[in-house]
Amino acid sequence: MSDKSIQIIYKKEKRTLLNKIKKFGLASNGIIFGGLVRDEIIASHFRQEFIDKELDYRKYYDENYHPETKGRLLIPNDIDIYFREPSNIRNFTDDITSYIKLFNGYINIQEIKNSPNFRCFNYFNSFLYLTHTKVVIEINLGRTLRYSGIRLKLDIDIISNDISSITDNFAYEKYTKHLEPPFFNLDFLSNIFVMERINGNTNIRLSNCSGTPLDTMNFVSKSKQSNKILDDIINFRTQFIRNITSINAEYINCFRIIKMIDREFSWDITNVPFTPINEIKEDCRCCICLEDIDKSSSLISVNTIPEMKNILHKKCFINYLKIEQRKKYRNAGNLIEIRCPFRTPFNFKDCYKNVEYI
């Protein structure tokens, strides 16, 4: 018997797993939201461009091939899904478990209760009654007798309604009929879309519970805004609109902003007090590392002080922002404050005021 080798393309395997889990969720009447929907919009757009240009499909997963459509390879690390009916969660997790067992994979299902991360970082306002179930999937790709394989991991956050405080069917139906992600707690406009299955077809639309003026717009105005947001998404632009007020608001705001700019496909958040720039006309130094700025470097302009703009290395700025966030500096009002390198507050909590809706 001759030796036979099999090529494993990690991103291709991850995309296959993601599509399968997504299919299970939609078939169980789930509503997918968050980063997956956003990334699917981007990947679908660049995938179609790849096809329209009649490029070599054998090189589809080659990251160095045709960088202009590299967005086709964008694959999220997790899935956020909401079930109006808690009973559908069991169908979903059973389908996942049966599928993962085919590959001797690992799955852990855990209901998270009273998690501060769930309440503060991820999902909902305090007046809503929701439950959070965490699912972790792991598969070892290419595992043999002598090789442990490559770990493929996927996190799933399942959100549903907490019916323990509902006393009758009428109250339950009234509560759940119109509720959907992001539960009036949208962070970025790029995350306003949800994905669901309607009459057998997958549909992506604007959420009706974003907590923004879009929820009550008429059809025409809403369609115009939708097109504008979609154009921003495929160009990796968005606006930060979280307007929750709390002692820890800026800590959470900064955390979310860092996640959007510190990634392979970095986002331009157009209404925050710093801006990515592509070039500079004169020599200057980064005020963080104090090194001369190479004009070909990735740069950030900090504009917290209106009369002066300060150019920084992007890496230096992100590292600074991470350290500043962890400090949890509190101002005179005992509110956490995120300060720029010149000790002026960023005031991310007020960024939503700069957003203009059509």
From first to last of the 358 residues of the chain, give the pLDDT tens digit: 567 777 889 999 999 999 999 999 999 999 999 999 999 999 999 999 999 999 999 999 999 999 999 999 999 989 999 999 889 999 999 999 999 999 999 999 998 866 555 554 444 454 567 889 999 999 999 888 888 889 999 999 999 988 766 666 666 676 677 899 999 999 999 999 999 999 889 999 999 999 999 999 999 999 999 999 999 999 999 999 999 888 999 999 999 999 999 999 999 999 999 999 877 777 788 889 988 888 777 899 998 887 677 889 999 999 999 999 999 999 999 999 999 998 999 999 999 999 988 7
**Is residue 27 in some structural domain?**
yes
Length of the chain: 358
**What pLDDT, on a 0 to 100 scale, did the predictor assign at position 114?**
60
Instruction: Give CA torsion, residues 248, 251, 257, 258, to 10 deg.
Output: -150
| Token digits of residue 11 | 């991103």
In this structure, the answer to whether residues 20 and 164 fall within a common structural domain is yes
Question: What pLDDT does 22 receive?
Answer: 97
Q: Write down the pTM of the prediction.
A: 0.91
Q: What is the pLDDT of residue 112?
A: 80
Beta bridge partners of 141: 150
Q: How far is CA 100 from the centre of its chain?
A: 25
Q: 32 and 133: one domain? A: yes
* Residue 205 counted as domain residue: no
Structural domain including 129 reads 10-171
d(CA 250, CA 117) in angstroms, rounded, equals 15
In angstroms, the CA 174 to CA 230 distance is 32
Last residue of a domain, one of 149, 171, 193: 171
Domain count, the chain: 2
Q: What is the CATH number of the domain that holds 312?
A: 3.30.1740
- 220 in a structural domain: no
Residue 213 covered by a domain:
no
Tokens representing 53 are 């240009």
CB 311 within 8 A of CB 277: yes
Q: Is residue 295 part of a domain?
A: yes
First CA to last CA distance, the chain: 67
| Cα(147)–Cα(260) distance, integer angstroms | 36
Residue 5 lies in a domain: no
Q: What is the pLDDT of residue 120?
A: 45
Q: Which of 150, 171, 192 is the last residue of a domain?
A: 171
Are 161 and 261 part of one and the same domain? no
Domain contains 219: no
SS (H, E, C) the chain: CCCCCCCCCHHHHHHHHHHHHHHHHHHCCCEEECHHHHHHHHHHHHHHHHHHCCCCHHHCCCCCCCHHHHHHHCCCCEEEEEECCCHHHHHHHHHHHHHHHCCCCEEEEEEECCCHHHHHHHCCCCCCCEEEEEEEEEEEECCCCCCCCEEEEEEEEEEEECHHHCCCHHHHHHHHCCCCCCCCCCCEHHHCEEEEEECCEEEEEECCCCCCHHHHCCHHHHHHHHHHHHHHHHCCEECECCCCCCCCHHHHHHHHHHHHHCCCCCCEECCCCEEEECCCCCCCECCCCCCECCCCCCEEEECCCCCCCEEEEHHHHHHHHHHHHHHCCECCCCCECCECCCCCECCHHHHHHHCCCC
Whole-number pLDDT of residue 62: 94
Whether 326 and 338 have beta carbons less than 8 Å apart is answered as no
Q: For residues 199 and 196, what is the distance between their CA atoms, to the nearest angstrom?
A: 10
pLDDT at 279: 77
Domain endpoint, select from 140, 171, 202: 171
Predicted confidence at residue 127, as pLDDT, reads: 52
Q: Are residues 283 and 138 in the same domain?
A: no
154/254 same-domain check = no
